[in-house]
Chain A
Amino acid sequence: MSVAAHTTPSGYLLPSIHSAPPFFTKQINPTTRSIADDHWARIILGYARHRRLFTLRVEDAETSGNDWDEIFRNERINRRLLPDHLASLISSMVTNNLAVYEPPKQTRSVLLYWRRPEEWADVLHSWVASTGQMNTIMTFYEITDPPVESPLSSLPIVILRKAIDVLSKSGRAQIIAIADGEGVRFFPGGSKI
């Protein structure tokens, strides 16, 4: 068995534990299982950040050929993550506030919080400041799909909204209803990064 760390084709460095077959089995012992779950959550979030993936579905473990193949399947030791194992991982991540069910009221797919909404708020505010768009009204679309690639590109609206909520609470942003939907205006001030 190979116990060394491994770098995936996409350049993500998998920890050595990912090459141990027991890692792919749902452990019965609660202590052991919580350790394994923590490691899984770390791998999932790290990989999601690496690939800028925001959603994770239980189906991702059922089929091959999707974005998550590199971590959910380990051909070198002939192991894969079983869907029900992934489902339990997801639920433990939601419990630990590392993800949120999206859409709500189901447990098959989640939005991953590889940045917490507060962190996203800071990222958003500094991006707005750095691009000189303070005090202008922007649509959500302008934020998530800017002409120049940004840290916020393709950010799901749900997370964006949460980030704006955080900013508006500290007085750094304001939601404004505009003709065809909603817009947001950012203000400098408050706590600076």
Chain B
Amino acid sequence: MALRRYTRSVDGTIPVQALLYDDEELVAVQDSVGIYDGSQKSPEHQSGTIHLSTHRLFYIDSQQEATQSFALDLAYVTQTDHYGGLFSSSPKATLYLTAPSSSDNLGLGTITTAVPAFESWECEVCAYRNPPGLSPSAARICSLCGVPRSAVPAPEPRATSLPSSPPVSGTTTPVSHDPTMSIACPACTFLNHPSLSVCEICSTPLPRVKHSSERSFSAKSAPASRPRSPDDETVPRMIKISFRKGGDKAFYSALKRSLKGKAWENNERGTPSERHATTRSGINGILRVVESSAQNRENDLQDSLQDLEALMNKAKEMVRLAADLNEKLTASASSGPSASPLNTSINSDSSALVPVTEPEEATFIRSSLAQLGLQMANTPVTLDMMKDDRKWFDELARELAGILQGSSRSGNGSTGTGLLGERGILPLDEVWGGWNRARGVALIPPSTFLQVIPLLSSYTDPPIRRRTFASGLSVLHTPPFTDAAFAARLSGLLALSGPKTTIEVAQEEKMAVGLATEMIDAVEQGGYICRDDAQAKISGSSGGGAELRWWANIFEGYSWDGQSDISQA
């Protein structure tokens, strides 16, 4: 009976951590425990795990965790007992329960209104919207300004109740505050909210006339109207936890600590929190809360960044390990003849080198490495592989060449088209992004990238060079995209098929319009073409984007065929 009366069933399939209130902490865990309801064994709760938090006890059944698990509020525990065990009898902890008579309603209210406790509410003093998820006691005061919530939700969802609606008697536990009950400050006469302990204006301690009645949260509530079951008085209200596999001592002491801590109680009460309460109320308190929450957030952020850094370090080790492993495999499998003198990762394409007679284990390891994305063929060149900078840049250029042109990289001529693909020209930023995406780890900074580019032409066939346009845009291009070659091609195109717009040229050349614009501008600078702006139209320039057509340079080599100047004496 005690069990059913004081506990609330929980869904044990949810991890206990997720069931906790925001201000609740898990303290101890013990598995292989059984529960006694009163002095008898509770048959449904004989094998499970017990979790102790600062607020509650959770029993998670090991067989039927969804239905047989429960939680017990430590607030009901008045007394505990420890039994050390004897022969076949396991050690036990006994919890004597009581529904605190004065706050019976509070307790039951907490149980029945468990769901409303999880909704967010707005403080009527500071208008702070309190998040859900706090324990019932903590949810009773505003977490920003520390003023108690005026109307604790009634058992039925209080979606429509006004914040200032008078407290309903019964299971509600109001802190009544008629406006007339405001406490006048003895120093400045400011009428303070009854729940404040110091004046909001001048910080003078307030006379606490109403305090004693406030303390018991049932000042106005009606006497318990709920009919009590007749066996209430006769059955000893206790449950026992039987520790089948030990761990009882540690658990018991943790339990004692939790009980002593009384974390479920509103921490506005109690001796040490008197001072705490004063700092929590008023503007000062609000500022402090905001400050400390910002501090917490910063700490969290720093922690997570450190975690990330640690993870990066681990990943680096992992990569090194994979590299070592693969090297060993390659060394043992290929007895040397096919190994190229350059033992760098670029051209030692492992799959090409390893003969088919590779032992099964080696294949397995290699395939798992490949699954992890740690294949040696993908391993980028990093500085620590190289002896000196010169060699490092050379290797980088080789790698970049492979990425751009594709073919040199994919060993036995597989159909890997590089980043350049069918295009002959690529903006530098796209190349840089694509390269780093291909590397995956150990990314290349732009400065290194720029140093590598001059070396690129000696590793590519046809040579890839860099070109910077007047606008500052830099590209990598193959020979057909040098200024002269492009100008010749463009003039030919214009001569052959008449004037073209930039977009038409871009289509013809299969390049981005922006890029085509740059190229054409460069050709115009060279004087090979001239422009015809549709703005100069007499009619029909219908406002839209001024169309610009490119013409072969008609001015070049033009000889005057107009009226002769000497016609008139």
Contacts and interface: CB of A to CB of B under 8 A. Distances in A.
A interacts with B: yes
Interface of A: 5, 12-18, 20-29, 31-32, 35-36, 39, 42-43, 45-46, 49-50, 73, 75, 78-82, 85
A29 B562 contact: no
B525 interface: yes
Contacts of A82: 535-536
Contacts of B524: 28-29
Given A35-B555, A36-B555, A42-B562, A29 B540 contact: no
13 contacts: A15-B560, A18-B562, A24-B532, A25-B533, A27-B530, A29-B524, A46-B562, A75-B538, A78-B538, A78-B539, A79-B537, A80-B537, A85-B536
Interface in B532-560: 532-533, 535-540, 549, 551, 553-556, 558, 560
Given A24-B536, A75-B538, A29 B525 contact: yes
A28 B538 contact: no
A5 B538 CA distance: 20
B389 interface: no
Given A13-B562, A35-B555, A25 B532 contact: yes
Contacts of A42: 560, 562, 565
Contact of B562 (A24, A36, A43): A43
Nearest to A12: B563
B536 A16 contact: no
Interface string B418-438: 000000000000000000000
B384 interface: no
B531 interface: yes
Contact of B554 (A20, A45, A78, A81): A20
A2 B289 CA distance: 82
A45 B538 CA distance: 23
B562 A21 contact: no
Nearest to A73: B538
A18 B524 CA distance: 21
Contacts of A21: 499, 532, 536, 549, 551
Contacts of B540: 78
Given A15-B563, A29-B525, A42-B562, 6 more contacts: A17-B558, A43-B562, A50-B563, A50-B568, A78-B537, A78-B540
Which 4 A-B residue pairs are closest in the complex by CB-CB distance? A15-B562, A13-B563, A25-B533, A35-B555
A193 B8 CA distance: 126
A36 B532 CA distance: 13
Contacts of A32: 527, 530, 553, 555-556
Interface string B351-371: 000000000000000000000
Contacts of A15: 560-563
Contacts of A31: 527
Contacts of B531: 22, 25, 27-28
Contacts of B553: 32
A17 B536 CA distance: 16
A35 B551 contact: no
Nearest to B538: A80
A17 B530 CA distance: 13
A154 to B, nearest CB: 15
Contact of A79 (B530, B538, B562): B538
Contacts of B538: 73, 75, 78-80
A22 B551 contact: yes
B490 to A, nearest CB: 14
Interface string B138-162: 0000000000000000000000000
A125 B530 CA distance: 46
Nearest to A8: B563
A22 B568 CA distance: 30
Nearest to A14: B562
Nearest to A34: B555
Contacts of B526: 29
B562 A35 contact: no
Contacts of B539: 78
Contacts of A24: 532, 536
Contacts of B560: 15, 39, 42
B35 to A, nearest CB: 90
B527 A80 contact: no
A43 B563 CA distance: 8
A29 B538 CA distance: 24
A20 B494 CA distance: 14
Contacts of B532: 21-22, 24-25
A17 B554 contact: yes
A35 B556 contact: yes
Nearest to A4: B561
